[in-house]
């Protein structure tokens, strides 16, 4: 059994594909560096991430797949799912080996193709949930702050939507799980991180902005929204199961109406 | 400036508006514009929250006022009801919409109103708010306006310039029932504004062919709603009307609202312990079959089956009535036929027709693709589920529909059915 280890980046994975083809071998496992190794194995190959190799593999993929197929690869990778690595790796290898006239990306009876396509769908689903459930609070200086905690790294997928929608307001959207965010200043978007130990202007646990920074009218709109949320419910039709299905509880902690 | 009284007003007017089901923010894609706030995303729209009753909150659904001159028996806001009344001022409402929108609470506004003085007076005030939002507040998000029954064509035409979607509620499918519950209304007052909206959209389409910069008129079309369970209409009456409405070029959605007993004192209305939620759900499923599964209304309900089956969904009910249509061969039959198999939806049907060009599809693949095999296995043949290799298959034709039906019910449903049988057992006198 041949084991490949890599740095769990997309470029690393593409480099692994390159190595597999140049060494004429097919690894059975693809692990992150430092992951526990399987009990028995013949040989470990440590993949060194190489921009040049990754680029060559990607250009090769561009010739073999439609833009939709490339989209599946790059978006599914945002899921950060460990299980995905080997499926994606095998999928890419199959694409290069396939010689038929059809486009392999549409063979959903293939386990790897289906897994990557479904993962891509799941990532998009969570991206939609961020568009739905993100809540902004307004600060004294007019900046809007929204904190999210998605399971998958979907922030890059949704930022354009918010920029398009709120193009005349400054806002900061922060991913509390991955500790980075995007700031929009009515001109451009910048990626920001807070240094270790630096004081955050909000509470990571609740997503609430510090009281003294909050715009003076923000409280009343929070109250109005909570009032609306309660009033719109028809008590004869209570259905907490459906509510939790459409709006999973793990997102509630940052949502104004559920705080 | 907003005060405590605004909170109370918003509460009252929301409670008055909540029985209107329409909520979607779908049907139009409009990207952001410089100097304006907002965009609309199209597709299925965005639901920003889900209330405790499980219904989605996409738009700020509110009434401008809940004073009303009509006395419709099914409506919570009827003039003779003793409820708290309120009216939001124009500036209050506009501020709430803009501030909610900027906080990503809502996709836009769904505004309706009780009828005060006369339909035109009321409609004019609704139009004014939509116009203010677009021109003064530079709001580029979603606006859904209720067209007041009996409003004039000029006002409907003006409203259409600012609204994304407009709706007029039919409420009661048959005119004689409507006359009974709402003597002051008739179907003409509903169909008239519907026609105005449709004509407006069609004329606008024609104009836009010649001139590029004509603004769009009600780009997301119109919707309507029917109350279910307040009157004696059968599902056949309701679905036949829906199907006719979908035949019109601008009708996008028909909503069904299970009647909630709001005015229990009125002898013309039934007293329901619970809104007819299962029936409502079956109607929506039937609606989906008509819109996405290429079913005709007379395939779902006919003279022999005037009501939808409450125990099984309408697609399964159809399949059990038509065993001669099965089995469907997953590897050979058309997309349309695969779509008719219970347990296979649009998503998995598309996966199937794409994949079967590469290799034969087996039940293992189907399971992986998300097909509900518990149902589907009785209606298909595929890779290994054929009678060529593995002997006779056990499908709907072998088991017989009437014996298959109980196999497909959940244990909870079976228990309920047994209880019903026991209760109706008649010992005689």
Q: What is the pLDDT of residues B114-144, one digit of tens each?
A: 999 999 999 999 999 999 999 999 999 999 9
CA B155 to chain centre: 26
Structure tokens at B16: 């008055």
Structure tokens at B41: 């995303």
Contact B225, B252 (CB under 8 A): no
Considering the domain architecture, whether residues A63 and A86 belong to the same structural domain is answered as yes
* Chain A: residue whose CA lies nearest to B103: A136
Domain boundary among A126, A142, A169: A126
Query: In the beta sheet, which residues pair with residue B65?
Result: B87
Confidence of residue A203 (pLDDT cuts 50, 70, 90): confident
Q: Is the pLDDT of residue B429 over 60?
A: no
Nearest CB partner across the interface for A109, out of B52, B56, B361: B361
Considering the domain architecture, whether residues A144 and A117 belong to the same structural domain is answered as no
Considering the domain architecture, whether residues A194 and A142 belong to the same structural domain is answered as yes
- Kindly report the pTM of this predicted structure: 0.91
Query: In the beta sheet, which residues pair with residue B254?
Result: B224
Listed residue (B386, B262, B368, B274) closest to A111, CA to CA: B368
Cα–Cα distance, B284 to B290 (Å, whole number): 10
First vs last Cα of chain B: how many Å apart?
A: 72
- Give the C-alpha distances (Å, rounded to integers) separating B419 from A20, B415, B425: 64, 6, 10
- SS3 of chain A: CEEEEECCCHHHHHHHHHHHHHCCCCCCEEEECCCCCCCCCCEEEECCCCHHHHHHHHHHHHHHCCHHHHHHHHHHHCCCCHHHHHHHHHHHHHHHHCCCCCCHHHCCCCHHHHHHHHHHHHHHHHHHHHHHHCCCEEECCCCEEEEECCCCCCHHHHHHHHHHHCCCCCEEEEECCCCEEEEECCCCEEEECCCCCCCCCECCCCCCECHHHECCCHHHHHHHHHHHHHHCCCHHHCCHHHHHHHCCHHHHHHCHHHC
> In B, which residues are within 8 Å of A214 by CB distance?
none
Confidence of residue B388 (pLDDT cuts 50, 70, 90): low
Asked if the interface predicted TM-score (ipTM) of this complex is over 0.95, the answer is no
Number of domains comprising chain A: 2
Contact B224, B254 (CB under 8 A): yes
CB within 8 Å: B32 and A109: no
Considering the domain architecture, whether residues A169 and A122 belong to the same structural domain is answered as no
Considering the domain architecture, whether residues A109 and A163 belong to the same structural domain is answered as no
Contact B74, B125 (CB under 8 A): no
Considering the domain architecture, whether residues A158 and A92 belong to the same structural domain is answered as no
Q: What is the pLDDT of residues B199-242, one digit of tens each?
A: 999 999 999 999 878 889 999 999 999 999 999 999 999 999 99
Confidence of residue B427 (pLDDT cuts 50, 70, 90): low
CB within 8 Å: A233 and B52: yes
H or E stretch including B427?
none
Q: State which residues form the domain around A178.
A: 134-258
Considering the domain architecture, whether residues A51 and A23 belong to the same structural domain is answered as yes
Q: Is B7 on the interface with A (CB under 8 A)?
A: yes
**SS3 state at B105:** coil
Considering the domain architecture, whether residues A120 and A146 belong to the same structural domain is answered as no
Nearest CB partner across the interface for A146, out of B99, B104, B258: B104
Nearest CB partner across the interface for A168, out of B37, B50, B358: B37
- For the domain B4-300, what is the CATH code? 3.20.20.70
CB within 8 Å: A234 and B19: yes
pLDDT of B213: 84
> In B, which residues are within 8 Å of A236 by CB distance?
260-261, 274-275
Mean pLDDT confidence for B279-285: 96
Cα–Cα distance, A105 to A117 (Å, whole number): 9
- SS3 of B403-420: HHHHHCCCHHHHHHHHHH
Cα B379-B382-B387 angle, rounded to 5 deg: 80
Domain boundary among A64, A97, A126: A126
Q: What is the DSSP letter of A252?
A: G
Cα–Cα distance, B192 to B187 (Å, whole number): 8
pLDDT of B119: 93
Confidence of residue B398 (pLDDT cuts 50, 70, 90): confident
Cα–Cα distance, B392 to B349 (Å, whole number): 25
Q: How many CB pairs under 8 A join A and B?
A: 165
Contact B149, B168 (CB under 8 A): yes
CB within 8 Å: B52 and A108: no
Neighbouring C-alpha atoms within 13 Å toward the C-beta of A120: 17
Confidence of residue B27 (pLDDT cuts 50, 70, 90): confident
Listed residue (B300, B308, B304, B243) closest to B280, CA to CA: B308
Considering the domain architecture, whether residues A52 and A163 belong to the same structural domain is answered as no
Q: Is the pLDDT of residue A153 over 60?
A: yes
Considering the domain architecture, whether residues A107 and A145 belong to the same structural domain is answered as no
| Percent of chain A whose pLDDT exceeds 70 | 100
Considering the domain architecture, whether residues A121 and A176 belong to the same structural domain is answered as no
Domain(s) labelled CATH 3.20.20.70 in chain B stretch across 4-300
Considering the domain architecture, whether residues A12 and A29 belong to the same structural domain is answered as yes
Confidence of residue B271 (pLDDT cuts 50, 70, 90): confident
Cα–Cα distance, B29 to A19 (Å, whole number): 45
Domain boundary among A109, A126, A143: A126
Residue A249, C-beta contacts closer than 8 angstroms, at least 6 positions apart: none
* B423 burial level (CB within 10 Å; 0-12, 13-18, 19+): exposed
């Amino acid at each position: 059994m041949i084991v490949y280890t890599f740095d769990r980046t997309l470029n690393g994975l593409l480099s692994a594909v390159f190595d597999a083809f140049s060494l004429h071998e097919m690894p059975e496992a693809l692990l992150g560096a430092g992951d526990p190794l399987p009990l028995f194995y013949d040989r470990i190959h440590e993949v060194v991430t190489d921009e040049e190799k990754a680029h060559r593999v990607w250009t090769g993929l561009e010739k073999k797949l439609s833009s939709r197929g490339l989209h599946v690869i790059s978006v599914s990778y945002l899921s950060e799912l460990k299980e995905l690595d080997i499926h994606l790796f095998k999928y890419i290898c199959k694409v290069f080996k396939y010689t038929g006239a059809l486009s392999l990306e549409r063979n959903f009876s293939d386990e790897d193709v289906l897994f990557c396509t479904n993962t891509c769908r799941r990532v998009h689903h969570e991206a939609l949930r961020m568009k739905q459930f993100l809540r902004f609070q307004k600060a004294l200086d007019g900046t809007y702050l929204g904190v999210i905690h998605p399971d998958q790294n979907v922030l890059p997928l949704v930022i354009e939507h918010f920029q398009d929608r709120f193009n005349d307001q400054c806002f900061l959207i922060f991913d509390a799980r991955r500790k980075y965010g995007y700031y929009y200043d009515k001109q451009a978007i910048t990626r920001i991180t807070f240094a270790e130990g630096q004081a955050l202007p909000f509470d990571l646990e609740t997503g609430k902005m510090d009281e003294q920074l909050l715009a003076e009218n923000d409280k009343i709109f929070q109250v109005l929204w909570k009032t609306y949320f309660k009033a719109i419910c028809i008590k004869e039709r209570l259905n907490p199961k459906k509510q939790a299905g459409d709006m999973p509880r793990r997102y509630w902690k940052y949502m104004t109406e559920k705080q | 400036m907003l005060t405590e009284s605004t909170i109370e007003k918003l509460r009252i007017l929301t409670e008055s508006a909540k029985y209107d089901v329409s909520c979607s923010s779908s049907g139009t894609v409009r990207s952001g514009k410089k100097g304006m706030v907002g965009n609309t995303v199209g597709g299925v729209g965005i639901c920003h929250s889900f209330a405790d009753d499980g219904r989605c909150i996409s738009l700020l659904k509110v009434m401008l006022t809940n004073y009303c001159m009509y006395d419709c028996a099914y409506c919570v806001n009827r003039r003779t009801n003793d409820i708290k009344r309120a009216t939001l001022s124009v500036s209050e409402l506009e501020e709430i919409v803009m501030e909610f929108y900027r906080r990503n609470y809502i996709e836009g506004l769904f505004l309706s109103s009780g009828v005060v003085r006369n339909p035109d007076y009321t409609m004019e005030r609704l139009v004014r708010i939509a116009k203010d939002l677009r021109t003064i507040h530079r709001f580029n998000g979603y606006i859904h306006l209720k067209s007041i029954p009996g409003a004039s064509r000029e006002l409907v035409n003006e409203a259409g310039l600012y609204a994304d979607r407009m709706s007029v509620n039919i409420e009661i499918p048959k005119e004689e029932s409507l006359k009974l519950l709402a003597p002051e209304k008739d179907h003409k007052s509903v169909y008239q504004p519907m026609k105005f909206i449709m004509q407006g959209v069609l004329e606008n389409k024609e104009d836009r062919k010649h001139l590029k910069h004509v603004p769009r008129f009600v780009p997301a079309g119109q919707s309507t709603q029917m109350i279910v369970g307040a009157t004696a209409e059968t599902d056949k009456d309701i679905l036949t009307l829906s199907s006719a409405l979908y035949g019109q070029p601008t009708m996008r959605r028909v909503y069904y609202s299970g009647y909630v007993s709001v005015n229990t004192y009125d002898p013309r209305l039934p007293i329901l312990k619970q809104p007819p939620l299962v029936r409502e759900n079956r109607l929506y499923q039937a609606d989906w079959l008509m819109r996405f599964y290429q079913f005709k209304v007379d395939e779902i309900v006919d003279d022999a089956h005037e009501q939808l089956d409450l125990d099984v969904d309408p697609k399964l009910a159809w399949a059990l009535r038509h065993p001669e249509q099965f089995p469907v061969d997953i590897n050979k039959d058309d997309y349309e036929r695969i779509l008719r198999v219970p347990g296979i939806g649009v998503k998995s049907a598309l996966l199937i027709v794409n994949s079967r060009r590469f290799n034969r599809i087996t039940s293992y693949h189907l399971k992986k693709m998300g097909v509900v095999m518990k149902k589907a296995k009785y209606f298909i043949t595929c890779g290994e589920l054929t009678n060529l290799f593995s002997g006779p298959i056990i499908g709907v034709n072998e088991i017989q529909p009437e014996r298959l039906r109980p196999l497909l019910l959940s244990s909870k449903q079976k228990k309920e059915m047994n209880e019903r049988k026991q209760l109706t057992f008649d010992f005689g006198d």
